[in-house]
A and B are shown apart, each in its own frame.
Chain A
Amino acid sequence: MTEKVKVRIDGEVIAATAGQTILEVARANGKYIPALCYMEGLSAVGACRLCMVQVAGVARLLPACTTPVQEGLAIDTTSSQLQSYRKIALELLLAERNHVCAVCVSSGHCELQTLAQEHGVTYVRYPYNYPRLTVDTTHPRYVLDHNRCILCSRCVRTCAEIEGAHVWDMAGRGIDTRLVSELKRPWGEATSCTSCGKCVQACPTGAMAEKGWAVEEMTKQRTVVSRLTSMREGQ
């Protein structure tokens, strides 16, 4: 039997089920917590740090996507301190690689761009990193542009957990971390890739796209992962 718990989110008392995360409970109750690495239907990894929330009595901030609810938690999701940290996180993501919206296939449909806009990021306060990064065009249908990758790992988890092929992984550490296909083979030579394209649909930015689209033309089916998961759970 599932244990019911009560939590308080931004002052409102909400009934939840033990084992649910703060993010799941908040979203199920119409409360918006921004996130980039979280995707419904995938495991949660707490990588992007945008969903950080304040829990009363806890000195540090906690990621809502990986923190399970407990009886009596009082959670603040909207404080000005959180807003300012989220803005910093977005600016650091924009500064880390070469996010040039003006020439991006996903401009206008990009989750990073949209969140920056929603959080009032009109410029980036930190020095840009300008890394020299590659674009992998070896796959016949898809393209991977490392300049636009934010290392959210949604593609990694989609391929491993939904498609079951596990083509993608992260290599390197810290700022040198790179998304790699099949132990650093070019994508087009990755024999385990089924070319299903679900990683492309899961990618929040223009890092993964279908070939053949121009600026602003690449729209994605964001619900493909959650739909597959819920259909499988329903079996």
Chain B
Amino acid sequence: MDKLKIGTCWLDGCSGCHMSLLDMDEGIVAVLRKADIVFGPLVDAQEWPEGVDVAVIEGAVSSQDDLKLAEAARARSKVVVALGDCAVTGNVPSMRNGIPVRTLLRRVYIEGATERPGSEPPAVPTDGVPALLKHAEPLHSAIKVDVHVPGCPPRPNAILFVLSELLEGRTPDLGSKMRFG
């Protein structure tokens, strides 16, 4: 039997959920017996591959790039998992949502900059960085999400449970096992 395919990515998040994913210790061996990780921060692939069985997405949808990656992952994956509070609720990245993007960028990059003698005047960077969306939104506001795994980060054994169930073809029932935060 061919191995299943898992893809992971992080959008507007801190990578903590990926740390928790790696923190499942020997559990990851059991996962890798059933599936290959074909896309993710530790994998070379530059494009989200076709035919992924389980997409695990950390982080809120906050920029044009986040949106594109989330849409690609959705289009090319059977099941999408929103991993952690940022993907599920918007969490810390969404704390900027009450502030207009222009005001936010000016505050951070211009008013917040320390000018040194001889340095360029501070400016909002535009080259090589994706444009921010109006709001940092939970993943399900951008694409259809099949499984929500709250937690900041979700506990490693919860991630292992979710992946194991999905790899067995079952829908994990987290019920009241998980909480926000």
Contact present for B135 and A103 (CB under 8 Å): no
Please give, as numbers and ranges, the residues of chain B lying within 8 Å of A60 by CB-CB distance.
Answer: none
Please give, as numbers and ranges, the residues of chain A lying within 8 Å of B91 by CB-CB distance.
Answer: 100, 102
Q: Is B88 an interface residue (CB 8 A)?
A: yes
Please give, as numbers and ranges, the residues of chain B lying within 8 Å of A119 by CB-CB distance.
Answer: 176
Stretch with Cβ within 8 A of A (4 or more), from B29-37, B39-47, B118-126, B144-152: B144-152
Please give, as numbers and ranges, the residues of chain A lying within 8 Å of B174 by CB-CB distance.
Answer: 120, 122
Contact present for A113 and B180 (CB under 8 Å): yes
Contact present for A116 and B88 (CB under 8 Å): no
- A-B pairs under 8 A by CB, number: 74
Contact present for B181 and A124 (CB under 8 Å): no
Q: Is B82 an interface residue (CB 8 A)?
A: yes
Please give, as numbers and ranges, the residues of chain A lying within 8 Å of B20 by CB-CB distance.
Answer: none
Contact present for B94 and A128 (CB under 8 Å): yes
Q: Count residues of B near A (Cβ-Cβ below 8 Å).
A: 29
Q: How many Å from the CB of A127 to the closest CB on chain B? A: 7
Stretch with Cβ within 8 A of A (4 or more), from B51-59, B62-70, B95-103, B108-116: B95-103
Contact present for B176 and A120 (CB under 8 Å): yes
Q: Is B178 an interface residue (CB 8 A)?
A: yes
Q: Is A101 an interface residue (CB 8 A)?
A: yes
Render A81-109 as a binary contact track against B, CB cut-off 8 A, 1 for contact.
00000000000001000111111100110
Task: Mark A residues whose CB is within 8 Å of B.
Answer: 94, 98-104, 107-108, 113-114, 116-120, 122-124, 127-128, 130-133, 216
- A120-B174, A124-B138, A128-B90 are known; give 5 further A-B pairs, CB within 8 A: A100-B95, A101-B152, A123-B89, A131-B98, A133-B98
